[in-house]
Structure 1
Amino acid sequence: MSTDKTGFEIPDQMRDFAEKSVDQARKAFDDFMGATHKAVSNAEDSANAVQAGAADVNKKALNYAEEHVDAAFKFAQELVKAQNVEDMMKLQQDYLRRQMESLGEQAREFSNSATKAVQDAAKATQKK
Structure 2
Amino acid sequence: MATDKTFEIPEQIRTFAEKSVEQAKKAVDDFIAATHEAVAKVESSSATVQNGALDLNKKVLSLAEQNLTSAFEHAQKLIHAKDPQELLALQSEFLKAQAASFGEQVRQIGDAAAKTVASITEKATKG
Scaled by the length of structure 1, the TM-score of the pair is: 0.91
**Deviations for 1:41-94, whole angstroms, at most 9, x for unmatched residues?**
111111111111111111111111111111111111110010100110111011
Cα RMSD (Å) of the superposition?
1.2
Shift of 1:9: 2.9
| Amino acid paired to 1:74 | E
Determine the structure 2 residue equivalent to 1:116. Answer: 115
Deviations 1:95-118 (A, max 9, x none): 111111111111111111111110
Contact 2:6 2:83 in 1 (8 A): no
**Matching residue's letter, 1:70:** T
Identity of aligned residues (%): 45
- The amino acid that maps onto 2:109 is F
Distance 2:5 2:85 in 1: 10
User: Hey, which bits of structure 1, 4+ residues long, moved more than 2 A?
Assistant: 5-9
Tell me, in whole angstroms, the C-alpha distance in 1 between the residues paired with 2:34 and 2:113. 25
Letter in 2 for 1:39: A
Using structure 2 for the length normalisation, give the TM-score: 0.92
- Return the offset for 1:8: 3.5
- Aligned pairs, number: 124
Q: Name structure 1 gaps, 5 residues minimum.
A: none
Which SS does the other structure have where 2:116 is aligned?
helix
